[in-house]
Every structure is written in C-alpha cells, then in structure tokens.
Amino acid sequence: MSRRYVLIGLADHRAEWMRRVSRWATDEAIPVEFVRTRSAGELRALLDTGRPYSSVLLDATTSAVGRGLLDALRHADCAAVVVAAEGAARDWVGLGAAAVLDPGFDRESLARVLASHCRPVPIRNADAAALTTDEPGPRCPTVLVTGPPGVGRSTLAMAVAQGLSREPHRRPLALADFCLEADLAVLLGAGDAIPGVQELVECHRLGRPATSTVRRLLVPLADYDLLTGLGDRDDWTLLRRGSVSAGLTSLQRAYRTLVIDGDADVSGEHDTGSTDLEDRNSLSRAAVDGADVVMVVGRATRHGVHRLLRTTARLSRVVRPHATLVPVLNQATRRDPTRHDALAALATLATRTRRPLAAPVTIAPHRNLDRRLEHGGPLPRSLVQPVSAAVSRHLDLTPTPAPDEPGGQRIQPGELGHWTDDEEAA
C-alpha cells in the first residue's frame, strides 16, 4: 500500500503557483495529487464528498479566504496552507492556518510543509478498483468541428450540438472544448466554470473514473452538457498524451453523442521531430483520432478558401479510415463568385485526396448572432439545420464503433533488450 498527498488548490486561474504545483503533480516530481478550484463553493463541495484530503493551498488574494473557511478546514481535518507574500498584514497562522508559503515557493519548500503539517492519504487496491469501470463499453459517435482560427468553428460546433440534441436517440449529448484558445464557456455563458478538460485529463492519470464521475465534470445546459476548455493556452503543458486519450474515451462512453470543438493543428513528432509540439497538440490529435465525422470550416473568401483546402488536405491524411470529412463554407452567399470557385476547388481536391470528401455545406451570413449568444437564446434554425442535418446523415452511415480491443503499442529503443549473434546460436 503506497501513500501520496492529495491537495486542493483555491486561487484564480492566473495564479502562477497553481500551474507549478499542477506540473509537479503531473510529472510526478512530488508524490501529490492536485485538484484545482476557483471558488469556496467548489472547495466545500469537494470536502463534502467524504474523500480524505491532506491539505488545501489557499491564495491569500482570494476574497473567500478568512477565519470562517480556515475553521471549516480545521473541522474537516484538512491542513490549510496559505500562499501569501512575505510580510503580509494578516497573521494567517493565528487565524488558523497550518503554515504560510511565499507565492514563489519551490518544490522543496512545498515538500517540507507537507511533511511537517499534512498527512499522506493511503492508496489501497480498493481505491484503484473504484477508479476503473467494470467493463469497457462502446464509444459513442463523435463529431469534430475544426478549421483555422477565426472562421466560426465554435459557433458551428454549438449549432451541431443544438441540432443533434433535438434527436432523442442522440441524447444525452456532450459538447467538449478541446481548443488551446477555449471560447465555448464564454459563448455559452458558463464563465470560468470548472472543472473542465484539464480536470478530466488529470483524473485519468492514475486510473479511469466511473461514468457518473465523468458526467459531473461537465456543465449541464438546456440541450446538452458542456466540457469547458483550458483556463489558459499555456496549460497544455499540464496535459499528458495518454491521459488525454483516456479522458476522451471516457467521454465517448459516458454519452450517446459527442461533439468536439477542436484545433486543426495535428502536427506531431513524426511530422516535425518535436515531442513538445506533439504534447501541445495532444487535444487536437486525440479529437481527430477519435472522430467519426470531421467538419472542416472555412470562410467564403479567397484567403479563406485557400486555408480551407489546405486544412482539409492535411486532415485527410490523418483521420480514421472510416471517418467522413465534411467541408463547410461559412458566410457564403448564393451570388458570391467566390462560392462557386470554392466548390469547384473542393471538387478538384476530392479527386486528389486519399479519401473521398462529403458534399460541401454552405452557410449563409447571419446577423445578430452575437446578440443571440449574449442573451442566451438558441441559434437560428437556418444556421443549425444545414450543419446538423449533414452530420446526422453521415453519422447514420458510419459503422457503429466496436468496443476497445488490445492494439499495438509504441516501443522505445532498448525496451525489448538486445539480440546478438551469440544468443541466436545458443
């Protein structure tokens, strides 16, 4: 039976020390499991679950940090460590904190505080079994809406999710934000709601949570559930490829339909020789690898069509064998000559790619979309119907995904030992 410290962090998502602790936990530089929160309500909800926690790291600049919260942590038998600048006006230890750390604390300072004031949580075999689902179920149909930045892909991802959610056999449905520049939470009025994709990935680092646990990570909306994206673009450094793929698989098993808003950059180590670039693109690469329908969005301008063709050609080389590529020409009017040129160029591209392209979908310009989103209203039917109907049609033609089967695994040099002529002769 091994032990580790289970920590909760309460701070604004811009707090640098939160990112450091998350990185140390992800890299296993210290024996901790770290859960990030941004409000006292989320913190109290975690404590009410009955799970034992070693400590809570509290940012002194957070308004919720005070005597009342410190007393609640003491009654929960959870050590409170306040992160405050040296020479702070308040006597945090006198108010009930176990210790105080400077915001620039290093790994060794945190380890000393944990060893002095906190109790590690034992990891039993029963705990590991609780993290794993009984049997791997089938993955649900998955739609990826992608394209270059600034072409309206997030709005169209919302339109696809809204349209598919009206079909009873596709519910419950989830919309996940896998973009580095995550916008769906703002567009849908969810604010800085957490947990999100980072917490989904983190809880798969040591196992696979139950379906009910996965669903609690999403924000319930009127038509579907929303998995919010990264709080900051640079938080990709806290993700690991294997945990990202495992998290996506759990999402696919927890819902009957999954729609992903993702980036189109899928370059990896094989393409560039850079492992860092593959880690940065782990969300988009996992989304492309798990999608049954990939909707590639572009604008109906000369530059937009060029980017659409280039993105579609690149994705055609990496999508799954059974996946369908659906080009979408956004903001296209019937009399626009660019629209006809774009359709002709897509037809030419379809003859050159390694896999056929679906018939392109054209979306007319829509006014007052920002006002609709601002007031939380549904997207117009003239926007929702074309994209959701195209996706629904292709999903019905896609074979049902089979349960996971054991597959190949990449082997690093030296992992299999070595083979010499002397050993062969023996």
Lowest mean per-residue pLDDT among 65-69, 106-110, 114-118, 407-411: 407-411
Backbone angles phi and psi of 2, in degrees to 5: -95, 170
Strand order in 225-227's β-sheet? 219-220, 225-227, 173-177, 257-261, 142-146, 293-299, 324-330, 361-362
Mean pLDDT of 14-40: 84
Mean pLDDT of 89-93: 85
Q: Beta strands 173-177 and 99-101: pairing type?
A: unpaired
> Residue ranges of the alpha helices (H) in 165-301?
184-187, 197-202, 211-216, 241-254, 269-272, 275-280, 282-290
Backbone angles phi and psi of 35, in degrees to 5: -115, 125
For residue 16, is it left (φ>0), alpha (ψ between -120 and 50) or beta?
A: alpha
CB 313 within 8 A of CB 353: yes
- Residue that has been written with the tokens 């404590």 in this structure: 47
Retrieve residue 50's tokens: 């009955």
289-339 confidence digits (pLDDT tens): 999 999 999 988 888 888 988 898 899 888 988 899 999 989 887 776 777
- Predicted local confidence at residue 175, as pLDDT: 97
Mean pLDDT of 2-24: 84
What the chain holds in terms of domains, given with CATH numbers, is 2-125 (3.40.50.2300), 142-397 (3.40.50.300)
153-195 confidence digits (pLDDT tens): 999 999 999 999 999 999 999 999 999 999 898 888 876 666 7
Q: Is the peptide bond before 195 cis (omega within 30 degrees of 0)?
A: yes
Query: Which pTM was predicted?
Result: 0.72
Q: Which of 367, 130, 137, 88 is nearest to 249 (CA)?
A: 137
CB 200 within 8 A of CB 214: yes
414 pLDDT more than 60: no
- Confidence band, pLDDT 50/70/90 cuts, at residue 59: very high
Q: Which of 210, 51, 226, 40 is nearest to 133 (CA)?
A: 210
